[in-house]
Amino acid sequence: MKLTSSSLRMLSDLAFRNLFSHWQKNLIVGSIMCFGTILVVLGTALLDSIETSMSRSIISSFGGHLQLYAKDARDDLALFGGGMMGASDIGELSRFDQIRKRLEKEPGIKAVVPMGISRASMSTGNEMDRLLETLRQHVKENQPQKVEKQAVKIRAVLDLLANELERKKLLSAAPEKISAELSRVQRAQSEEFWEQLIADPETHITFLESKIAPISPDDRLIYLKYLGTDLDRFAKSFDRFEIVRGTMVPSGERGFLINQKVYDKWLKNKIARELDEIKNEMEEEGSTIAEDAKLTARVRRMSRLYRVVTYQLDPDDSDALKLKLQKFLGKEQGDINELFQSFLTVDDKNFSARYGFFYKEVAPLIKLYRVAIGEYLNTRSYTKSGYVKSVRTKVYGTFRFKGLEASDLAGQTSLVDLMTFRELYGAISDETRDEVKAIQKEIGIDDVSRSSAEDALFGESMDLEEVVETDDSEVDSDIEIKFNASLRESNESTKFTQDDIDQGLALNAAVLLENPSSLERMLKRVAEIEEEDNLGVQAVSWRKASGIVGQFIVLVRVVLYVIISITFLVALVIINNSMIMATMERVKEIGTIRAIGAQRKFVLLMFLMETMALGIVSGLIGAGIGAGIIKALGSVGLPATSKQMVFLFSGPRLFPTVEPHHLIFASVVILLVSIISTLYPALIATRVEPVVAMQAGE
Amino acid sequence: MGIYVLIAYRNLVQAKRRTLLLGLALASVTMLLVMLLSWSSGISETMVRSATALSSGHVNVGGFYKSTPSDTAPLVVDVAQVRTAVEKHAKNVDYIITRQRGWARLVSDSGSIQTGIGGIDIRADRRFLEVVQLSAESEYLDDGRRQIIGNIDDLAKDNRVLLFVKQAKQLGVQVGDQLTVTIETLTGQTNSVDVTVAAVAQDVGLLSGWNIYMSETSVRKIYDLSDTAAGVIMVYLKDISEANQAMKTIGLGLEKDGYKVMEHDPNPFWAKFDTVIAEDWVGQKLDLTTWRDEVNFLTWILRAIDSVSFLLISILVVIISIGIMNAMWISVRERTNEIGTVRALGMAKNRVLTLFMTEALLLGFASTLLGATLGAILSLAIDALQLVVPSRAVQIMLMSDTLHFSVSISTVIGSTIAFTVIVGLAAIWPAYRASQLQPVTAINHVG
């Protein structure tokens, strides 16, 4: 039979008529299809939204579209960690300049930004050092009153230090060493020491600086992950980058820019941070302190941390705050500690008033962040060959990436100039390397790599333990102080030029493209350039460079597709089953149609058309419902219920969007499923002989 | 009752195709459920195994010592005394050990890693010896021998270190090589010491990448610690499920003995520095945790897998239930005449109901049992194959390089019962409708 347009029309008429005449079966099969469509629309739209926000977090924060790193690298580049605690060895781009110049000639490449990622511990210094510096200044300016006031402060710290040493004796395997330190502190605590200090400040302050300051504890260490880069070029190329506090590091100067997220999450005063987080949970999640057990425990714990505020207060400020707290709380009794502790015992009713009071009255009196903008950080890092390297660098400000404030990926890394990075990394200049090479040639060692150059310079068997042990001897402490001072000077004053930045090494580099969709093509192009010019680089996409993070997105996608396929497989069986049963019921009808002249092909088409009609109707309804749900989620946001989800969503809420291709994909899938599930029942139907129709009634 | 089963059985056989297809769908979903559950409990087992061998006892009695209000060290100062007290209060104890805890940088000629150090007494640490297996040299060295080099007992000697395969590869070292361990002491000094690789062990899930092991005395020496201080007392119970209760009992006992015990905070010890440093007290406080607290940064993986499984199974249950209802409807319609006849002959309504329910339950039970058994067999087979997972992300999720399934009889029985019940529920409405048919209309029904 030739299919004419009239027979096609008849087929479709029949199909739609049958949708209603067999409504019971169709309702069941249709609802399964509809359900399936909703599932596909929701799954793919959510996943794409997650991927879009994550790719945005990676590409426009640090990743760029492509990443370059050494061709002979031992490990894969993993910008956001590879799951091991060790620093991965991605080799070096020793002649970064050549690579940049060559690639920036290439049409389609917007910028090539040099980079290097590392971690370091930093400290803002030692309280005793700071106190002594001020003391020295007061002495120099000849202000006896101020000297006296400063002396009181220093002696209070000395008392604390003596207590600390007493307690530390309990832990130590060498208590006699601590006893010796303690006797020095006791000497400094004595009345006559301070009387003599007035008479002969120089000797006595030097004693405090060289004998006491080294044993008094440094401020607590801050661990930072940082990215060393050409800051000017970075700021120009990553257009979401913006300074939040402070200023940009001036061109040609060394400096840190701390990520605002790190600043708020790790460096803010603990009480302020707790208050912020409690406020956030109450507002975002609608939790209450009374009902949410975790929040209750959190408030209880917070009230015990009053010290991080009260300890910082000046005596005058402390008295003033005490009065204000008494008034605010309506309490007469208690010292500042007790008052502040009861202030921190917040509940649902008084929380917002106390939050306001804290920021208005308390915050201005304390150091709200452990590192103030403009302060210097002593940064200690292990160089490639395991030596400890110290650098003192100024913190110029904090930054963020516009629109990515909530993303954990964009919020974990701080920035430093490339010169400081190289110093901490342990890179040496080419001249030094040539020099070392010459020396080594003389003594008969052939090859010097960058990493072993340091060994060569300082002697391979330099033992760090020895350095520590000699700490005790008087000479060494003096040397160290002078060394520190010179370090201070040298690093503060070292300026550099653009050439200095360009000539040295980088570990990896971000490539920004004019057109993101040319990514695959540009990957190939870089490989070709490498073939031609032998620059020693390899290029990877941002997804691959993101390390474990990119793999997780792929994993989530695989899981989603597995779920969808299993669901459809089961649905297929169920639909198929229903169809077969429906066909069995219609044997008589089919027989009749066949008896009045319809060919087998007509019957087959009739069945297929019927399911397709059903598929289209339920697919449309399902796609509509799915799109509706995504639209609704897109306006209120899908809340992340765990830390991992916050990470995945690049923020506390995901605002998914639905694209036409999600709906089309879902509809096509559902149509395919419906056709496949009808094939077998339809085949059975074609085998019905006209004669059956007559027998069935009997 | 027997007659119902017989009739139901015959009906099922008569509608062979329908029974087969529906049964197949049911069986495969049950199989999937059993496999997912076995997988999840396999991961959970891996986690318990590696956590309790490498980083935690069933119950841990650790603590913090503050020499000033603004610092802290994760130490128990009078460890011998505290240990005696713990021994007194803990019940159903298998054994108790003490360990040192540290954090170090390891540097070799060709690489460096940042890692936790465990200071262990290798002779007393039974769980460690049981779980940690030495690896053949070829596992971590390109042209290494296919035999185990090194001896785990050497860990008793000073300055010997045990690494895991991944670390050995990262550092590019083999047994007998020297490494430098650098740590920061409690007084803020940097100490370092040269150590020799005594043995390289097979990786034990993800956690083994984050820890190396030395003798307790060596760790104590690097840290300049007195003999009376230790990182943690680890209590192993006869039954791990009692860990929570045991922690409470021990905590109360210690408080009664006059020790200061911190409020329970379900986090690993290294996540607590920030809070402890900010608190205003000096001296010693003890901190009790269970193994679950110490690895709580990993339990989200189990939660994620369980919720995905739950989602998938719920979707499938919905689809399957619709399918069953549909099948029952058609079965009722096909047999309306028959129902009319038996009703006219005097069969009571509730018997018709029972008849249909029996049919559904019989089908449900047989196919879910088959599916569950198949699922169990398949899980065991995959587990035995020790399939290697290719992606690092998946390895992290599974906390292991290989797929591990743990099948229990209760999973098989539980899934079978649950699914049979679901089938029964889906069948109630059609069966009820069948029983409500009037004999006359039923007999006259055509088609």
pLDDT digits (tens, 9 = 90+) for A3-53: 577 777 887 787 777 777 777 778 878 888 898 899 899 999 998 898 888
Structure tokens at B62: 């650790």
Distance CA A42, CA A388 (A): 52
Question: φ and ψ at A349, to 5 degrees?
Answer: -75, -45
Percentages of chain B per state (helix, strand, coil), in multiples of 5: 55, 20, 25
Buried-exposed string A598-632: b where 16+ CB fall within 10 A, e elsewhere = beeebbbbbbbbbbbbbbbbbbebbbebbbebbee
Please report which confidence band the pLDDT of residue B248 belongs to, taking 50, 70 and 90 as the band edges: very high
Q: How many residues does chain B have?
A: 447
Strongest mean pLDDT among A119-123, A290-294, B38-42, B231-235:
B231-235
The answer to whether residue B67 neighbours chain A at the CB level (below 8 Å) is yes
Cβ separation A464–B221 shorter than 8 A: no
Helix (H) or strand (E) holding B20: helix B16-54
Distance CA A513, CA A511 (A): 6
Distance CA A139, CA A134 (A): 9
Which residues are bridge partners to B156 per DSSP?
Answer: none
Percentages of chain A per state (helix, strand, coil), in multiples of 5: 65, 10, 25
Distance CA B389, CA A121 (A): 35
Cβ separation B114–A86 shorter than 8 A: yes
A-chain residues near B394 (CB < 8 A): 551, 555
Could you say which DSSP state residue B148 is in? Answer: B
Distance CA A584, CA A240 (A): 64
Give me the mean pLDDT over the A134-139 stretch: 88
Average pLDDT, chain A: 82
Which residue of chain B comes nearest to A221, CA vs CA? B188
Q: Which segment of A599-608, A686-695, B188-197, B245-254 scores lowest on mean pLDDT?
A: A686-695
CA angle at A539 for the pair A534 and A542, rounded to the nearest 5°: 165
Cβ separation A163–B68 shorter than 8 A: yes
Which residue of chain A comes nearest to B181, CA vs CA? A386
pLDDT number for residue A490: 46
Could you say which DSSP state residue A516 is in? Answer: G
pLDDT number for residue A461: 40
Residue with token string 């496999």: B35
The answer to whether residue B142 neighbours chain A at the CB level (below 8 Å) is no
Structure tokens at A665: 């994909």
Could you say which DSSP state residue B400 is in? Answer: S
Which residue of chain B comes nearest to A304, CA vs CA? B279
Of B139, B192, B127, which Cα lies nearest the Cα of B163?
A: B139
Residue with token string 């060895």: A89
Please report which confidence band the pLDDT of residue A629 belongs to, taking 50, 70 and 90 as the band edges: very high
Which B positions 303-342 lie with beta carbon below 8 A of chain A?
Answer: 303-304, 308, 311-312, 315-316, 318-320, 322-323, 325-327, 329-330, 333-334
pLDDT number for residue A694: 64
pLDDT number for residue A471: 37
Give me the mean pLDDT over the A198-222 stretch: 84
Q: In the predicted model, is pLDDT for residue A462 greater than 50?
A: no
The answer to whether residue A39 neighbours chain B at the CB level (below 8 Å) is yes
Residue with token string 């009794």: A333
Give me the mean pLDDT over the A79-88 stretch: 62
Question: φ and ψ at A330, to 5 degrees?
Answer: 65, 35
Helix (H) or strand (E) holding A228: strand A222-229
Please report which confidence band the pLDDT of residue A488 belongs to, taking 50, 70 and 90 as the band edges: very low
The answer to whether residue B182 neighbours chain A at the CB level (below 8 Å) is yes
Of A573, A571, A570, A610, which Cα lies nearest the Cα of A590?
A: A610
What would the pLDDT profile of B128-183 be if each residue is shown by its tens digit?
998 898 999 988 888 888 888 888 999 999 999 999 988 898 888 999 999 999 88
Residue with token string 């879902």: A666
**B26–chain A nearest CA distance, Å:** 9
B220, B227 contact by CB (below 8 A): yes
Cβ separation A307–B280 shorter than 8 A: yes
Q: In the predicted model, is pLDDT for residue A558 greater than 70?
A: yes
What would the pLDDT profile of B368-402 be if each residue is shown by its tens digit?
999 999 999 999 999 998 888 777 777 777 777 78
pLDDT number for residue B199: 93
Cβ separation B68–A164 shorter than 8 A: yes
In the three-class reduction of DSSP (H, G, I as helix; E, B as strand; rest coil), residue B62 is classed as strand
What would the pLDDT profile of B312-327 be if each residue is shown by its tens digit?
888 888 888 888 888 7
Distance CA A134, CA B142 (A): 60
What would the pLDDT profile of A302-311 be if each residue is shown by its tens digit?
888 888 888 7
Give me the mean pLDDT over the A416-443 stretch: 72
Distance CA A104, CA A100 (A): 6
pLDDT number for residue B289: 95
pLDDT number for residue A67: 92
Cβ separation A580–B18 shorter than 8 A: yes
Of B257, B238, B237, B232, which Cα lies nearest the Cα of B247?
A: B237
pLDDT number for residue A470: 35
Cβ separation B21–A580 shorter than 8 A: yes
The answer to whether residue B249 neighbours chain A at the CB level (below 8 Å) is no
Question: φ and ψ at A427, to 5 degrees?
Answer: -80, 145
Question: φ and ψ at B140, to 5 degrees?
Answer: -120, -5
The answer to whether residue A145 neighbours chain B at the CB level (below 8 Å) is no
Helix (H) or strand (E) holding A310: helix A307-310
For B111, the closest of A82, A89, A164 (CB atoms) is A89
pLDDT number for residue A481: 43
Give the burial class of B441: count Cβ atoms within 10 A of its Cβ; 0-12 exposed, 13-18 middle, 19 or more buried: exposed
Q: In the predicted model, is pLDDT for residue A480 greater than 60?
A: no
Encoded amino acid at B415, one letter: S
The answer to whether residue A82 neighbours chain B at the CB level (below 8 Å) is yes
Q: How many interchain CB pairs under 8 A, A with B?
A: 223
Cβ separation B393–A163 shorter than 8 A: no
Strand pairing category for B190-201 and B160-164:
parallel
Which A positions 407-446 lie with beta carbon below 8 A of chain B?
Answer: none
The answer to whether residue B180 neighbours chain A at the CB level (below 8 Å) is yes
Buried-exposed string B187-213: b where 16+ CB fall within 10 A, e elsewhere = bbbebbbebbbbbbbbbbbbbbbbbbb
A-chain residues near B187 (CB < 8 A): 168, 215, 217
For B320, the closest of A174, A574, A581 (CB atoms) is A574
Please report which confidence band the pLDDT of residue A438 belongs to, taking 50, 70 and 90 as the band edges: low
Alpha helices in B290-408 (DSSP H): 291-294, 299-334, 336-344, 349-385, 392-398
In the three-class reduction of DSSP (H, G, I as helix; E, B as strand; rest coil), residue A126 is classed as strand
B77, B65 contact by CB (below 8 A): yes
Q: How many CB atoms lie within 10 A of CB B148?
A: 17
Q: In the predicted model, is pLDDT for residue A231 greater than 50?
A: yes
Strand pairing category for B112-120 and B59-66:
unpaired
The answer to whether residue B124 neighbours chain A at the CB level (below 8 Å) is no
The answer to whether residue A2 neighbours chain B at the CB level (below 8 Å) is no
Which residues are bridge partners to B105 per DSSP?
Answer: B114, B182
For A167, the closest of B166, B282, B316 (CB atoms) is B282
- Most distant CA pair in chain B, distance: 98
pLDDT number for residue A442: 63
B93, B87 contact by CB (below 8 A): yes
Distance CA B336, CA B433 (A): 11
For A577, the closest of B22, B392, B395 (CB atoms) is B22
The answer to whether residue B220 neighbours chain A at the CB level (below 8 Å) is yes
In the three-class reduction of DSSP (H, G, I as helix; E, B as strand; rest coil), residue B112 is classed as strand
A108, A529 contact by CB (below 8 A): no
Q: In the predicted model, is pLDDT for residue A459 greater than 50?
A: no
Q: How far is CA B114 from CA A85, A88, B111, B267, B281, in A?
A: 6, 11, 11, 21, 31
Helix (H) or strand (E) holding B178: strand B178-184
Distance CA A13, CA A610 (A): 9
Residue with token string 């169809």: A579
For A570, the closest of B105, B225, B316 (CB atoms) is B316
What would the pLDDT profile of B61-112 be if each residue is shown by its tens digit?
999 998 887 788 899 989 999 999 999 999 999 999 999 999 888 888 877 8
B-chain residues near A165 (CB < 8 A): 67
Which A positions 227-286 lie with beta carbon below 8 A of chain B?
Answer: 270-271
Distance CA B278, CA A643 (A): 24
Q: How many CB atoms lie within 10 A of CB B92?
A: 10
Q: How many CB atoms lie within 10 A of CB A649?
A: 24
Q: How many CB atoms lie within 10 A of CB A183?
A: 10
Instruction: Tell me chain B's radius of gyration from C-alpha atoms.
Output: 31
Cβ separation A24–B329 shorter than 8 A: yes
The answer to whether residue B419 neighbours chain A at the CB level (below 8 Å) is no
A-chain residues near B327 (CB < 8 A): 577-578, 581
Please report which confidence band the pLDDT of residue A588 belongs to, taking 50, 70 and 90 as the band edges: confident
**B298–chain A nearest CA distance, Å:** 11
Quick one: how far is CA B87 from the chain centroid? 28
A648, A556 contact by CB (below 8 A): yes
The answer to whether residue A582 neighbours chain B at the CB level (below 8 Å) is yes
Which residue of chain A comes nearest to B264, CA vs CA? A297
Which residue of chain A comes nearest to B189, CA vs CA? A468
Distance CA A652, CA A407 (A): 9
A256, A414 contact by CB (below 8 A): yes
Buried-exposed string A538-563: b where 16+ CB fall within 10 A, e elsewhere = bbbbbbbbbbbbbbbbebbbebbeeb
Which A positions 299-318 lie with beta carbon below 8 A of chain B?
Answer: 300-301, 304-308, 311
Cβ separation B315–A643 shorter than 8 A: no
Q: Which segment of A72-86, A92-106, A223-237 scores lowest on mean pLDDT?
A: A72-86
Cβ separation B304–A644 shorter than 8 A: yes
The answer to whether residue B413 neighbours chain A at the CB level (below 8 Å) is no
Distance CA A195, CA A204 (A): 10
**A574–chain B nearest CA distance, Å:** 5
Which A positions 587-646 lie with beta carbon below 8 A of chain B?
Answer: 588, 642-644
